[in-house]
Amino acid sequence: SQTIHQWPATLVQPVGSPLSLECTVEGTSNPNLYWYRQAAGRGLQLLFYSVGIGQISSEVPQNLSASRPQDRQFILSSKKLLLSDSGFYLCAWSGYVADGYTFGSGTRLTVV
Amino acid sequence: QQPVQSPQAVILREGEDAVINCSSSKALYSVHWYRQKHGEAPVFLMILLKGGEQKGHEKISASFNEKKQQSSLYLTASQLSYSGTYFCGTDGSSNTGKLIFGQGTTLQVKP
């Protein structure tokens, strides 16, 4: 069966520090991969999505970047964090349309 | 464009029914529905792919009116476990696979 792993679960980082969040999917090949951010009490904002290795689409101009170095690995990065980068970051994958998205357990990032 | 959900919040007693609506200003290829418990990741409930389609999941069902660019989620005889925030996610007419989510509807079911 397919599983998605996301880590770390929580992270507290100072302003100006770098960021690297990792997401991996098991049990499937060539998945579509997504990064979403959720501010406290708010909806899900699509940040990046990828349909294949090295193929990244950015949905919102911001302080973040994404990479997909391997088929089932998706990385979210920042060179210098801002206070506004705080939030709940969710990785998701999709395969067959009818199966919808499967989300990872999320990373709660607090920038101080 | 982000779909608009209504109402923003609902409080129910166990056994009562609720309807959550999702409207888009753009033509849609599909509508997804997800439920998120506090502090957890959203969980997929169902997807509707064609206009006029209805689907069900236990006592939760949904409809999709393609012409009106609207979807509704129906929760029948609500249970305590139905509490959470419900999100609709829409994919534009080009079927990109990218979901844009509504702002969410918080449902609280009380004993």
Which residues are CB-contacts of A38 (< 8 A; sequence separation ≥ 6)? Answer: A44, A45, A87, A88, A89, A90
Q: How many residues does chain B have?
A: 111
Report whether A44 contacts A38 (CB < 8 A). yes
Q: Is the peptide bond before A69 cis (omega within 30 degrees of 0)?
A: no
Kindly tell me if the per-residue pLDDT of B22 is higher than 90: yes
Q: What is the pLDDT of residue B53?
A: 67
Q: What is the pLDDT of residue B66?
A: 83
Kindly tell me if the per-residue pLDDT of A67 is higher than 90: yes
> How much is the average pLDDT of A9-31?
95
Q: Is A93 at the interface with chain B, CB within 8 A?
A: no
Nearest to A104 among B41, B101, B102 (CB): B41
Q: Is A35 at the interface with chain B, CB within 8 A?
A: no
Q: What is the pLDDT of residue B51?
A: 60
Burial A16-49 (b: 16+ CB within 10 A, else e): eeebebbbbbeebeebbbbbbbbeeeebbbbbbb
Q: Is B47 at the interface with chain A, CB within 8 A?
A: yes
Q: What is the pLDDT of residue B93?
A: 62
- Residues in chain A with CB shorter than 8 Å from the CB of B87 are 43-44
Q: How many residues does chain A have?
A: 112
Q: What is the pLDDT of residue A87?
A: 95
Q: What is the tens place of the pLDDT at every residue in B30-65? A: 899 999 999 899 999 999 886 666 667 678 999 998
Query: Within 10 A of B69 (CB to CB), how many other CB atoms are there?
Result: 19
Report whether A90 contacts A102 (CB < 8 A). no
Q: What's the start-to-end Cα distance of chain A, in Å?
A: 38
Q: What is the pLDDT of residue A1?
A: 82
Nearest to A100 among B44, B95, B101 (CB): B44
Gap from B14 CA to chain A (nearest CA, Å): 24
Kindly tell me if the per-residue pLDDT of B79 is higher than 90: yes
Q: What is the pLDDT of residue B91?
A: 84
- Which is more confidently placed, A62 or B107? B107
Average pLDDT over all residues of chain B: 89
Kindly determine whether residue A100 and residue B47, on different chains, have CB atoms separated by under 8 Å.
Answer: yes
- Cα A108 to Cα A9: distance, rounded to the nearest angstrom: 6
Gap from A59 CA to chain B (nearest CA, Å): 10
Q: For A33-42, A57-66, B48-57, B83-92, which range has the lowest pLDDT when averaged over its residues?
A: B48-57
With CA atoms as reference, the chain B residue closest to A39 would be B103
